[in-house]
Amino acid sequence: MRGPVLTAKTIKPAWSKVSLTLRAIGGLHNIKGNHAPYFTLTKEEFRKGHPNQCQSYGCDHETLLKYWPKFADLAALHLSDINGVPTHAEANGWYDLAGALPGNAGEKYHAGNSKRHFPKPEGAPREHEWDTTDYREPTPEECLQIFADHARVDIEMARKVHKLVVDEFVDNGKYGPAEAWKRARAVFAQWIEDQRPRWKSEAEACIQKHGLRVFGDEWNAA
């Protein structure tokens, strides 16, 4: 189900021969069975005056923020729950951070071995005009940025969390790597818990700023 239309405008992209209507669609989507509604921000582009001729639709935050930078807070909260908690906050956060940790914290699966698209470096050769990304594994520094985006902190805070976890691992080295990482992860889990008040405050501010409402299945806030 598509959410409420937050705003719309006419655009003329270089790739299109006709003018398009671009809509920013967002709110708090509730799906029966989920524990709470979640933030969502997507786009819809269709030929101007012909809403049945959809050109593209989806989570294209780059395009949306190009025209409406004011939605940066909503884009950052995309898929977080109504209290601002990111999806699987601790598990996904550890997965991301492990890509930057020594020995990947002993994890077999982590962000560091998960290929994804990254912008091509400036001046890099392109086979086509639309060839703007490389599909590759992220570097440790990029894993830190992925974690920072997940937790909605800046890169400097991500580095502090990295140091906090590594220091805990080193301090518990006498127990062996597996136990030391287990204890380091417990410290990380507590850090995640400590973010909940901030996340909730960010969520409430975003809801008020954009007048977001719950849509989809009926939701009983109680």
Q: What is the pLDDT of residue 222?
A: 67
Determine if the pTM surpasses 0.85: yes
Does residue 75 carry a pLDDT above 90? yes
Residues 55-73, mean pLDDT to the nearest whole number: 94
Q: Please give the share of the chain, as a percent, with pLDDT higher than 70.
A: 99
Residue 130 phi, psi dihedral angles, 5° rounding: -85, 0
Residue 220 is predicted with a pLDDT of 84
Query: How many C-beta atoms surround the C-beta of residue 109 within 10 A?
Result: 11
**% residues pLDDT > 90 (the chain):** 83
For the chain, the distance separating the N- and C-terminal CA atoms, rounded to the nearest angstrom, is: 24
Which residues are 81's β-sheet partners? 38
Between CA 156 and CA 218 the distance in angstroms is: 40
d(CA 98, CA 90): 12
Task: Please provide the DSSP assignment of 43-111 as one string.
Answer: EEEEETT-TTSEEEEE--HHHHHHH-GGGHHHHHHTT-BTT-PPTTHHHHHHHHHHTTSGGGGG-SS-G
| pLDDT confidence of residue 209 | 98
pLDDT classification of 1: cutoffs 50, 70, 90: low
Q: Note the pLDDT of residue 51.
A: 84
- With 80 as the cut, is the pLDDT of residue 221 above it? no
196 secondary structure, DSSP code: H
The yes-or-no verdict on residue 148 having pLDDT over 90 is yes
Cα separation, 42 vs 63, whole angstroms: 10
Cβ proximity of 83 and 199 under 8 Å: yes
Residue 84 has pLDDT above 80, yes or no: yes
Q: How does the average pLDDT of the chain come out, rounded? A: 94
Q: Which residues contact 102 (CB under 8 A, 6 or more apart)?
A: 166, 169
Consecutive H or E run containing 16: none
Alpha-carbon gap, residue 182 to 17, rounded angstroms: 57
The helix (run of H) or strand (run of E) holding residue 11 is: strand 5-11
